[in-house]
Amino acid sequence: MEVHVDRGRCAGSGLCMSYVPAVFDQSDDDGKVLLKAARPASGAAAAVRGAAARCPAGAITLSGGDARGR
Amino acid sequence: MPHESAPVPLHTRRTHFDPADDLRRLAADGPVTRVSLAPGAGGEPLWLVTGHEEVRRVLGDHTRFSTRRRFGSRRAAEDDGERPDEGVGLLMDYDPPEHTRLRKMLTPEFTVRRMRRLQPRIEAIVAERLDAVERAGHPADLAELFASAIPGPVLCELIGVPRDDRDDFLRRCHAHLATGRGRQERTAAGSAFTRYLAALVARQRKNPDDGFLGMLVRDHGSEFTDKELRGICVLLMLAGLDNISGMLGLGALALLENPDQLALVRDDPAALDRAVEELLRYLSVPHAPTPRTAVEDTTLGGRLIRAGDTVVCSIPLANRDPHLTAEPDRLDLARDPVPHVAFGHGIHHCIGAALARMELRIAYTALLRRFPGLRLAVPVQDVAFRVRSTAYGVERLPVTW
Ligand code: SF4
């Protein structure tokens, strides 16, 4: 799975960081999402999919093998 | 100004924790329906969006659905769509690029990490309120002593209102925002409130501290007008008072009515994050975000929405949409968090969401810990609900322990 974030869209909720701190962070400078791991471990796939679905700005997109879940 | 005897607008009607039946019938007709929210009271017909997917589409598309246009269309004849004075700084009424400019400067002040710095202060505020409940003895009204008494001081803490000024500040603020009062009285309260905010802003400009206002003027002093800074403070009060008091009161009631679920949360603090998300979804205290105005003709949920039409999104119905989660009408605190829209969606998504989540978590935990035997002191049908407010809630919640 590959994770993409659109910082232009990000509303700065910090929700993704709260759900998957290993993959997402929130910048102290502009409050927006920072991507820590663009290719997260496969064990994190479900959590990352959850974060992408919950992002209130639709700023997180996924591509690659396990992007859609089963 | 709503009058006491005016009918409760359709989209705000509830039955206990649920959207009212007449509202549900509308949702059953389709995700987008043409209605008059105040039938018989001269309310103009508009679109009510009740499907979760459709609500996310409207709120996520600020180019087709504007919040700024409200002023343009409604007030154009009087003043060329100029923003009325009292609207300056109210972010939810702005579209990009104005919205982007202000929001960009505010967002860093509301990060999850920033909000965590407030945690000890919020814990102290909550503890004081629980002392007051204890002092009141049985039965104590949780609505007055707990739910309504917490958000104000927390917002003062956030904004940086000195402790000695808080009671005055909150009294003026309530008087200013109260819709049930006469116009003259409100105007007088409003100018007292504005004067205080102006003095606070001036003080922070001269001597910025580490609070929210201080940081804003330090980092972006010249990019904000005083009026904008005052407006932003008003916005925070508008957004933070009723919504949080609604969640605290209704949430407490929902827990008391579901003792098995309450036990789940009380015994496992780690379960609380999930529980808060589910309470936010299930209770959906804000009835609707700022109405949108369609900018161009658009098809939504199979209906043609014309440019200039008003679109209102129902938060409670969107959050109970069967496409969103299984058994949406069941409160299930162990449910995997669903992408609810209790904080809105898109560029106007609540800027204070991280603060709200933390506040609710702290307050529910402390309440359950302090009063492990908490229960309703009256039959549940005697609990009075708050029906005339931008956010649903309880009016009175007598408890014992
Ligand atoms: S969840 Fe979305 S809006 Fe919130 S910080 Fe992450 S990317 Fe930004």
Instruction: Say if residue B372 is exposed, middle or buried (CB neighbours under 10 Å; 0-12, 13-18, 19+).
Output: exposed
Residue B269: predicted pLDDT: 79
pLDDT in tens, B115-139: 999 999 999 999 999 999 999 998 9
Q: How would residue B85 be classed by pLDDT, with cut points 50, 70 and 90?
A: low
Tally of domains in chain B: 1
Encoded amino acid at B164, one letter: D
Mutating to test ligand 1, I would choose from A3, A4, A7, A16 the residue with most ligand atoms within 8 A of its C-beta, which is A16
Range of the structural domain that residue A26 is part of: 2-63
User: Residue B219: which CATH number?
Assistant: 1.10.630.10
**Is residue A70 assigned to a domain?**
no
Tally of domains in chain A: 1
**Is residue A17 assigned to a domain?**
yes
Cβ contact, residue pair B336, A50, below 8 Å: yes
Span of B39-48, B259-268, B295-304 with lowest mean pLDDT: B39-48
pLDDT in tens, A40-59: 998 999 999 999 999 999 99
Determine if ligand 1 sits within 6 Å of the CB of residue A34: no
Determine if ligand 1 sits within 6 Å of the CB of residue A48: no
User: Residue A10: which CATH number?
Assistant: 3.30.70.20
Residue B210: predicted pLDDT: 85
Mutating to test ligand 1, I would choose from A3, A32, A62 the residue with most ligand atoms within 8 A of its C-beta, which is A32
Residue B121 in contact with residue B157, Cβ under 8 Å?
yes
ipTM confidence? 0.84
CB atoms within 10 A of CB A70: 5
In our burial notation (b when 16+ CB lie closer than 10 A, e otherwise), range B98-131 reads: ebeebbebbbbbbbbebbeebeeebeebbeebbe
Which residue in A6, A9, A15, A55 has the most chain B C-beta atoms within 10 A of its own C-beta, making it the best mutation to test that interface?
A15
Residue B292 in contact with residue B310, Cβ under 8 Å?
yes
**Is residue B40 assigned to a domain?**
yes
**Is residue A69 assigned to a domain?**
no
- Measured from the Cα of B349, ligand 1's closest atom is 3
Q: Is B339 on the interface with A (CB under 8 A)?
A: yes
Q: Rounded to two decimals, what is the model's pTM?
A: 0.92
Q: How would residue B177 be classed by pLDDT, with cut points 50, 70 and 90?
A: confident
Residue A54: predicted pLDDT: 92
The arithmetic mean of pLDDT across residues B103-114, rounded, is 92
Closest residue by CA, ligand 1 atom 4: A13
Range of the structural domain that residue B315 is part of: 10-73+83-400
Residue in chain A closest to B357 (alpha carbons) equals A15
pLDDT in tens, B136-155: 998 999 999 999 999 999 99
**Long-range contacts, B350-353 (Cβ 8 Å, 24+):** B350/B239, B351/A11, B351/A12, B351/B91, B351/B103, B351/B106, B351/B107, B351/B110, B352/B110, B352/B236, B352/B239, B352/B240, B353/A13, B353/A14, B353/A15, B353/A56
